[in-house]
Chain A
Amino acid sequence: MEVAQTSTGRTGTMNGIGAYLARHMREYGLLFALIAIMVFFQIVTDGTLLRPVNITNLFLQNSYIIIMALGMLVVIVSGNIDLSVGSVMGFIGALAAVMIVHWDWSVYLAIPACLLVGIGIGAAQGYWVAYWKIPSFIVTLAGMLVFRGLSLWLLEGQSVGPFPKGFQVLSTGFIPDYFGIGRPNGTAIAAGLVAVALIIWVGLRDRAHNRKYGIEGEPAAFFYGRNIIVAGALLFVAYKLSTFRGLPNVLISMVVLTVIYAFITENTTLGRRIYALGGNEKAAKLSGIKTERLTFLAFVNMGMLAALAGLIFAARLNTATPKAGFAVELDVIAAVFIGGASMSGGVGKIVGAVVGAFIMGVMNNGMSIMGIGIDYQQVIKGLVLLAAVVFDVYNKQKQG
């Protein structure tokens, strides 16, 4: 190929912080939105929002949304949607209650059994979507009705509880202080420090990689600014938690799951293939990707996480009610879209979905503290969702 000529000379990269910011508005926007919302509620609730007990509550209250948002992100990236997660979550909570309270099953048997049922539900729905090409909207709409009905039937319209202690710790348990200080809780502070160190280490490594390959990296000011904010926030939260009861168990599960899913979606061939599937199913298929199987797995995974969420939710309320999980799918889906995923598939990040879920969670929590009625809460959440997506589209057009 002696005729190869390289003439990309005119394609000089435009530098400048403004241009960079314009292109990455979405990511920073999300972070700043979360900070702004927290500051806002911190002020209007006279500092209640960031009290140790409330921070602990924030995690406990939102854990199930965040856990389901992880699965929902995968489903949405693959180009589908799952409307049934709220019902499935309620159903599994009901099932757990029936198993443990009515049938006297051991917790160690009931929990895996419930997770397996969740996997089965996901498989059943995924089967129709993946192999019969029935639109996921329809399949999961059906699932939503079916499992809503089944939980009513299981509970016979009654609340069932309470659960034994061994089950409650799923949600309301705390990690003991291995340093034996007690208050402030040494483990919590140590965990915060380790998390900060990890985040900075990963950030620096990526930066080095970008530099090596000449990828336009974040301007240094942004990189350090962002990391200082994130590190500060983490340490702040860790400290606050340490002055209350330490690290809640669910926080640990959430963090571990988030890290695992972020890693899978961003660094593995499996994740890459799911994005390709959502981006262009036909092209993915012609590249040798088993598109049906991936779609199926996305739903199986969603079913498992919905079951986990159902267990955690039931454990926190210490009872299973027929209303549990009602309309929760909407919060979960909203969180994923606020986090930057695209309806048409192929786009979206785990971290975005988690931040989106926190934005929803902080709003729910803040508005409840302020005593705003559920009516206004819905209106405000709806508008925030719309604003986030409009912002997305606007940004895209400006760049186009």
Chain B
Amino acid sequence: MTPLLEMRSITKTFPGVKALDAVNLTVMEGEIHALVGENGAGKSTLMKVLSGVYPAGSYDGEIHYDGNVASFGGISDSEAVGVIIIHQELALVPLLSIAENLFLGNECAKGGVVNWRETFQRTEGLLKKVGLSEAPSVLVDRLGVGKQQLVEIAKALSKDVRLLILDEPTAALSESDSQALLDLLLELKAQGVTSIIISHKLNEVRRIADRVTVIRDGATISSMDARTEEITEDRIVRDMVGRDMAHRYPERERRAGEMLMEVRNWNVWHPEHSERQVIHDANLTVRAGEVVGIAGLMGAGRTELAMSIFGRSYGRKISGEVLMHGAPVDVSRVDRAIAAGLAYVTEDRKTLGLILDDTVERNITLANLPAVSSRGVISEARETGVAEKYRAAMNIRTPSVFQKTVNLSGGNQQKVVLSKWLFAGPEVLILDEPTRGIDVGAKFEIYGIINELSAEGKGVIMISSEMPEMLGMCDRIYVMNEGVLVGELTAAEASQERIMSLIVTD
């Protein structure tokens, strides 16, 4: 086997940060190569160097591709030789159709006039290849993330891809969508496509990767070959974090105290389609010190339920009651919901969670500015003190709290959002996919924080698509399907099978 790609001693610096420090990466022709490492280790940066997002000259080191030295001046150069990257954040135009998106910038056109018949025909072919049964004319914003991800891959295939790079493709996908995507990758491999996949889900890595390269702190730590040795998750974790991790879920003394929050007869209608009811008569309770999960498939309505409770941030014609400590509270606006003791950590940190152009510090204090100000005047010293406290407690990797959050790695951005809501000092914290895109070590830290909150007598509602995480953390799990809470299981009763069977028999 010959190497298709060799990246040699790649070094990339940003103002104040050395993101990559002499990293090496070798990828063989026809393999699936997994790139793993902690948040901020430099994985995305390395792939951006490879694909020309950071052009030749803005980094040190050499890239050998297909036997030649490659110096890509931009994405178009790398695409020309078949290197296609699908970024951590999807890059589709929401209000264009699938077909238009697939051939964006690469239209089937003669003299500037688009040939729609050919476009649609080729789109159908590509969609079949990736196993997506949607009409080419469907607008992308009608598709869920899973399907959008498939459209991205179809787009890559339309460009004669040789080396496909996927940056955390399954982070936002449900279990079954992830499976479909991984199967597709295996199929592409059979057709001779080489891929590099970045993922924090180590079970996936184990399942599909032929080789695994671990990066830590901007340097290559190890490279393992699944064909010659056994790659265990424990081993990957050890290389990633630099030590053994005995438990994935920290221990917690489970005890449910008095009733903290109750939601009664909660009904929500769709914001645009006024005849569609999204949440039907939801009832749920959270006791002090309890971690309550809401399980369900993607699109079951969990985010909608949470956001509608949190200041009616979603939906219309909302009816029902929210009680805290037995008394009804007003949650009709976000500021009132916060005042009532709620906090909601969004699953969509880029569009709903962060002011990307603002600093880490300003993002952390945003939901609770009065706590760092007196009579409306912000005290810089207090603000910086708070930010530093959370940086240390959450282990946010950033050169300083004055770094703009846009420059942080995905996982560290997540920690900033979480810090913001912890600082708001809620009684009930609603976490929507809190560990999405977060490395194993950081997950453990976040679980630890959840446990601390519970020990302080706070309530936690956790929405997660990762079943093991739900089972490992929750005291009680509600199961939601198509907007209805169809069942409730205690930690002892709950298992993956029982949850699934509740969903299926509904």
Contacts and interface: CB of A to CB of B under 8 A. Distances in A.
- A and B are partners in one complex rather than unrelated chains: yes
Contacts of B393: 1, 4
A215 B16 contact: no
A1 B448 contact: yes
Contact of B367 (A9, A212, A287): A287
B384 interface: yes
B377 A268 contact: yes
Contacts of A14: 13, 15-16
B506 to A, nearest CB: 30
A399 B354 contact: no
B151 to A, nearest CB: 24
Interface string B40-72: 000000000000000000000000000000000
A212 B382 CA distance: 12
A282 B377 contact: no
Contacts of B441: 3, 5
Contacts of B445: 1, 3-4
Interface in B373-430: 373, 376-378, 380-381, 384, 388, 392-393, 395, 397-400, 402, 420
B259 interface: no
Given A10-B18, A283-B353, A399-B15, A276 B420 contact: no
Interface in B321-342: 333-335, 337-338
Interface string B13-43: 1011110010000000000000000000000
Contact of B358 (A4, A8, A267, A276): A276
A398 to B, nearest CB: 10
A10 B384 contact: no
Interface in A257-292: 267-270, 272-273, 275-276, 279-280, 282-290
B296 interface: no
Contacts of B256: none
Contact of A280 (B16, B311, B354, B402): B354
A269 B376 contact: yes
Nearest to A6: B395
Given A1-B449, A10-B218, A268-B377, A280 B356 contact: yes
A7 B217 contact: yes
A19 B15 contact: yes
A269 B369 contact: yes
Given A286-B344, A287-B334, A8 B355 contact: no
A273 B353 CA distance: 15
Size category of the binding interface on chain A: 35 or more
B245 interface: yes
B354 to A, nearest CB: 6
A287 B376 contact: no
B384 A213 contact: yes
Contact of B245 (A3, A216, A290): A3
Interface string A163-202: 0000000000000000000000000000000000000000
Contacts of A133: none
Nearest to A23: B15
Nearest to B218: A10
B258 interface: no
Give the one of A282, A287, A289, A346 with max B CB within 10 A: A287
Given A10-B18, A279-B356, A286-B313, A270 B367 contact: no
B356 to A, nearest CB: 7
A272 B383 CA distance: 12
A209 B381 CA distance: 8
A8 B381 contact: no
A273 B16 CA distance: 28
B313 A285 contact: yes
B118 interface: no
Given A3-B445, A346-B355, A347-B357, A287 B15 contact: no
B494 interface: no
Question: By DSSP majority rule, is chain A's interface helix, strand, loop, or mixed?
Answer: loop
Contact of A286 (B13, B346, B381): B346
A65 B242 CA distance: 60
A214 interface: yes
Given A3-B444, A8-B397, A267 B218 contact: no
B370 interface: yes
A214 B448 CA distance: 29
B377 A272 contact: no
A216 to B, nearest CB: 8
A13 B16 contact: yes
A340 to B, nearest CB: 13
Contact of A215 (B245, B370, B402): B402
Contacts of B378: 267-269, 272
A12 interface: yes
A269 B383 CA distance: 12
B338 A11 contact: no
B15 A285 contact: no
A386 B354 CA distance: 31
A260 to B, nearest CB: 13
A7 B380 CA distance: 26
Give the one of A268, A269, A290 with max B CB within 10 A: A269
A3 B441 CA distance: 8
A116 B133 CA distance: 61
Contacts of B354: 280, 283
B251 to A, nearest CB: 12
Nearest to B444: A3
B313 A276 contact: no
B108 interface: no
Interface string A283-314: 11111111000000000000000000000000
5 residue pairs, one from A and one from B, having the closest CB atoms = A279-B355, A288-B335, A269-B369, A287-B367, A11-B399
12 contacts: A1-B449, A4-B393, A14-B16, A213-B381, A215-B400, A216-B16, A269-B377, A279-B358, A283-B353, A286-B344, A289-B366, A290-B333
Interface of B: 13, 15-18, 21, 217-218, 241-242, 245, 310-311, 313, 333-335, 337-338, 344, 346, 351-358, 362, 366-367, 369-370, 373, 376-378, 380-381, 384, 388, 392-393, 395, 397-400, 402, 420, 441, 444-445, 448-449, 452
Given A10-B217, A11-B398, 17 more contacts: A1-B445, A5-B441, A6-B392, A8-B399, A10-B218, A11-B17, A12-B16, A212-B381, A213-B384, A213-B388, A216-B400, A279-B356, A286-B344, A287-B367, A288-B334, A288-B367, A289-B335
